[in-house]
Amino acid sequence: MKFYENGDGLTEPRGFFCSGIHCDVKGKKDGKLDLGIIYSSKPCHAAAVFTTNDVKAAPVRYSQNLIQDPEATYHAIVANSGNANACTGKQGEMDAIKMANETARHLKVQPTQVFVCSTGRIGVTLPMSKITVGIRDASEDVLEGFDGAKAFQEAILTSDTCTKSCAAVLTTPYGEICIGGVVKGAGMIEPNMATMLAFLTTDAKASNNYLQNVLQKAVNQSFNRITIDGDMSTNDSVIMLANGNCGIEVSTEDESLDHSFQKAVEAICQCLAKKCVTDGEKVTKFVSVKIQGALSNEDAEKVGRCVSNSLLVKSSWYGSDPNWGRIVDAAGYAKVGLVFEKIDMFYDDVAALRKGEPVHNNKTQWKEIVSQSAFSITLDLNQGTGEAEIWSNDLSEEYVNFNKSE
C-alpha cells in the first residue's frame, strides 16, 4: 500500500469531483469558502457513521434516513460550514431537505442520492437564500470537472487552522484501488464521535453492507479513539462513497483483498483522526495514552478515557509537568478495580512507576519527554490482557479564551 498524508484526498480515486465556494453563511463578507460538494456521475454505494448524541442536527437525521436502504445508490454530498443547522426545529428539517433537493436539481439526480452535512454554530437557522445560490455555483463547478479538491477541504473548516487530507493506493492482482479522505474537526472532539465531518471516497466496487462493516470497524479504531476537550457534538458524520470506477469489486469472498482494503480504510481514518487531535483548538501537544494489562479491552478504554479527559492531567501536559499522580488518580476513578501496587507507568519508554513505586532517578527524563510536542504515556495495570489506546492533547488557557464566546 502506498500512503500519502496530504494532497487532494477525495479526488484521488477516479471519477470523483469536488468544489468549494463562498456563499457568506456567517454574514461576515470575508470571502471564506463555506460550502462544498463531492460528486460522482457514476452511482455510488455508501456507508456512514453518525454522532451518538441524543441531540442530533437536522442534516444528521436526514442523512441517517438515507443510509437505511441496503440497495440504495448515491451521487453526492453537500456540506456547509459556519452554521450547524442544529436545534433549529422544523425549519431546520425543511432546510436540510431543501439543500438535498437543490443539489439534486442542479446535478440532475434524485434528492435521496444526496447526503447533507453541516458544521458550525448551534441554534441558528441557515441563510437559505445564500445557501441555494452557493449550491448552484458549487454544482456548476463539479459538473464542469473543476479541480476543487483543496477548495472543498477549505469550505468545511470552522476553527481548524489547516486542511486535513490523505490517500492510499492498493496494488492488487486486478489493478489499483485508490481511497481518499478529508476531515474537519478541532473542538468538541470526544470519542463517539466529535464535531467532525469526515469524508472518504474510493474507486472500488462494493455493496452498502460491506462498506458499512468496513467503515464501522475503521471508525472504532480511529475517530472513536480521540479526545480533545471531552465534548460531544450534534453534527458528527463520517460518510464513505464507492463508485466502482476502477472495476475491482471488494467483498468478504476474497479474503486477501478484503483484509488489504480494510487496513487501507483504517489507515486513512487513523491518519485523519490524528490530524484532528494535533489541530485541536489552541493545542500544543499530541499525547498517546496507552493502557495495557486491564481485565478487558472495555476496562482499558475506560481508564484511557478518564486519563485523556482529565482537565488536571491535560493542564499538566500543557505545563510540561510530569505529574504522574494526576494520571493514576484519573485512572482510579474509572472504577475498573485496578490495584495501584501493580501499576507500571512509562513516559515514552522511560519508567515512572514500577509496581506502584516511583522511579525517582528518571525524573529529569520525564520532564524532558513531556516538554516535547508529542509523547506517549503507558499504564500497565498488570491484571489481564485488555488494552486500548486513546489519542489526546493538552489544555491551554488559550483554549478557554478562544471558547468563552462565539
Instruction: Enumerate the active-site residues.
Output: 195
Kindly provide the b/e burial profile for residues 35-54, where b requires at least 16 CB atoms within 10 angstroms of the residue's own CB: bbbbbbbeebbbbbbbbebe
DSSP β-bridge partners for residue 345? 353, 379
Q: C-alpha grid cell for residue 196?
A: 467532525
DSSP β-bridge partners for residue 168? 3, 179
Kindly provide the b/e burial profile for residues 144-182, where b requires at least 16 CB atoms within 10 angstroms of the residue's own CB: eebebbbbbbbbbbbbbeebbbbbbbbebeeeebbbbbb
| Upstream peptide bond of 196 is cis (omega within 30 degrees of 0) | no
Q: What is the DSSP string of 242-309?
A: E--TT--B--TTSHHHHHHHHHHHHHHHHHHHHHHHHTSTT---EEEEEEEEESSHHHHHHHHHHHHH
77: left (phi over 0), alpha (psi -120 to 50) or beta: beta
The runs of H, that is alpha helices, within 54-88 are 58-66
CA 236-237-242 angle, 5° bins: 170
CB 96 within 8 Å of CB 89: no
DSSP β-bridge partners for residue 226? 391
CB 282 within 8 Å of CB 369: no
Q: C-alpha grid cell for residue 44?
A: 455510488
Taking the C-alpha atoms of residue 99 and residue 136, their distance in angstroms, rounded to an integer, is: 10
